Structure 1
Amino acid sequence: MTVVINQHSDSIIDQPLEISSNKGYQFSWFDWFCLWYPPGWLVLFNRHWQHYHSDPDGWNWWEYILFLLPCGFYLALLMRWLRLGCRSPRKEVGEFNPNYQQAFRQEILAPIVKYYFQGELQQINNLPQTGPMIVAMNHAGMCFPWDFLTLGYLLSETREWVVQPLASVSLFEHPWIIWWLPSQWSQVLGGVRAEIGDFEAAIAQGKILLYAPEGIRGPGKGWHKRHQLQKFDISFMQLSDRYHIPILPVLCIGSEFLHPWTINSKKLQRIIKLPFLPISPLMLILLLFPSMGIWAMKTHLKYFIQPLEQQINSGKDRADTYQQAQKFRDKLQTQLNQVLKSINI
Structure 2
Amino acid sequence: MYQFTWFDWFCLWYPPGWLILFNRHWQRYHSDPDGWNWLEYLLFLIPGGFYLALFMRWLRLGCRLPRSQGEQFDPNYQQLFKDEIIAPIVKYYFRAELHQVENLPASGPLIVAMNHAGMCFPWDFLNLGYLLSEQRGWLVQPLADVSLFEHPWLIWWLPPGWAKILGGVRAEWDEFKEAISNQTILLYAPEGLRGPSKGWAKRYQLQTFNLSFIRLSDRSSIPILPVICMGNEYLHTWTFNIKKLARRLQLPFSPISPLMFAFVLFPSMGVWAARSKLHYYIQPVYQTAPITENSPKQERSQSYKQAQELRDKMQDIITQLSR
Give the TM-score band, short-chain normalised: over 0.9
Aligned counterparts of 1:186 and 1:178: Cα–Cα separation in 2? 10
Could you tell me whether the CA contact under 8 Å between 1:165 and 1:211 is conserved in 2? yes
- Alpha-carbon separation, structure 2, partners of 1:314 and 1:124: 30
Once the two structures are overlaid, the 10-residue window that deviates more, 257-266 or 25-34, is 25-34
Distance in structure 2 (CA, Å) of the matches to 1:238 and 1:332: 19
2:296 matched residue in structure 1 = none
Which residue of structure 2 lines up, in the alignment, with residue 218 of structure 1?
Answer: 195
- Separation of aligned partners in 2, 1:310 and 1:224: 32
Q: CA deviation at 1:92?
A: 4.2
1:127 to 104, 119, 138: 104
Q: Counterpart of 2:68?
A: 91
**Aligned pair partner of 1:202 in 158, 176, 179:** 179
Task: Tell me the secondary structure at the aligned position of residue 166 of structure 1.
Answer: strand
Which SS does the other structure have where 2:105 is aligned? Answer: coil
What CA deviation, in whole Å up to 9, does each residue of 1:115-170 have, x standing for no partner?
Answer: 10000001011011111000000000000000000000000111110000001111
SS at match of 1:99: helix
- Listed as ranges, the matches of 1:170-209 within 5 Å are 170-209=147-186
Would the aligned equivalents of 1:314 and 1:324 in 2 still touch at CA under 8 Å? no
Residues 55-112 of structure 1 show CA distances to partners (whole Å, capped at 9, x for unaligned) of: 1111011000000010000000000000000011123432111111111111001110
- Say whether residues 1:333 and 2:315 are aligned partners: yes
> Out of 283, 292, 305, which is 1:323 matched to?
305
Q: Which residue of 1 aligns with 2:228?
A: 251
Q: Distance in 2 between matches of 1:279 and 1:313?
A: 43
Q: What displacement does 1:277 show?
A: 0.5
- Equivalent residue for 1:71, pick from 48, 52, 68: 48
Q: Secondary structure of 1:219's partner?
A: coil
Aligned-residue offset at 1:189: 0.6
Aligned residue identity for 1:279: I
- Note the C-alpha offset of 1:306: 0.2
Counterparts of 1:314 and 1:161, CA distance in 2: 29
Alignment check: 8 A CA contact 2:108 2:185 kept:
yes
The aligned runs of 1:1-345 (5 Å cut-off) are: 24-314=1-291, 316=293, 317-341=299-323
Secondary structure in 2 matching 1:221: coil
Structure 1 residues 151 and 271: CA distance shift in structure 2, 3 A: same
Amino acid paired to 1:89: P
Aligned length: 318
The one-letter code of the counterpart of 1:327 is E
CA distance in 2, matches of 1:60, 1:292: 18
User: Could you tell me the percent identity over the aligned residues?
Assistant: 67
1:290 is displaced (CA, Å) by 0.2
Aligned equivalents of 2:292, 2:88: Cα separation in 1: 44
2:241·2:254 contact (CA, 8 Å) conserved in 1? Answer: yes
CA contact (8 A) 1:315 1:324 kept: no
- Determine helix, strand or coil for the equivalent of 1:135: strand
Shift of 1:311: 4.0
Judge conservation of contact 1:134–1:211 (CA < 8 Å) in 2.
yes
Per the TM alignment, residue 271 of structure 1 is displaced from its structure 2 partner at its CA by 0.3
Q: Is contact 2:217-2:288 (8 Å) kept?
A: no
Report if the CA contact (8 A) 1:237-1:314 is conserved: no
Amino acid at match of 1:97: D
1:220 partner SS: coil
Q: Give the RMSD, CA atoms, in angstroms.
A: 1.0
TM-score, normalised via structure 2 length:
0.97
**Residues of 2 paired with 1:280 and 1:297: CA distance?**
12
Residue pair 2:288, 2:306 contacting (<8 A) in 1 also: no
Deviations 1:16-45 (A, max 9, x none): xxxxxxxx1011111111111100000000
Tell me how far apart the structure 2 counterparts of residues 93 and 135 of structure 1 sit (CA, whole Å): 28
Bigger Cα displacement from structure 2, 319-328 vs 251-260: 319-328
Q: After TM superposition, give the deviation of residue 203 of structure 1 in Å.
A: 1.2
Higher relative contact order (CA 8 A, sep 6+): 2
Residues 292 and 315 of structure 1: CA distance in aligned 2, closer, same or farther (over 3 Å): farther
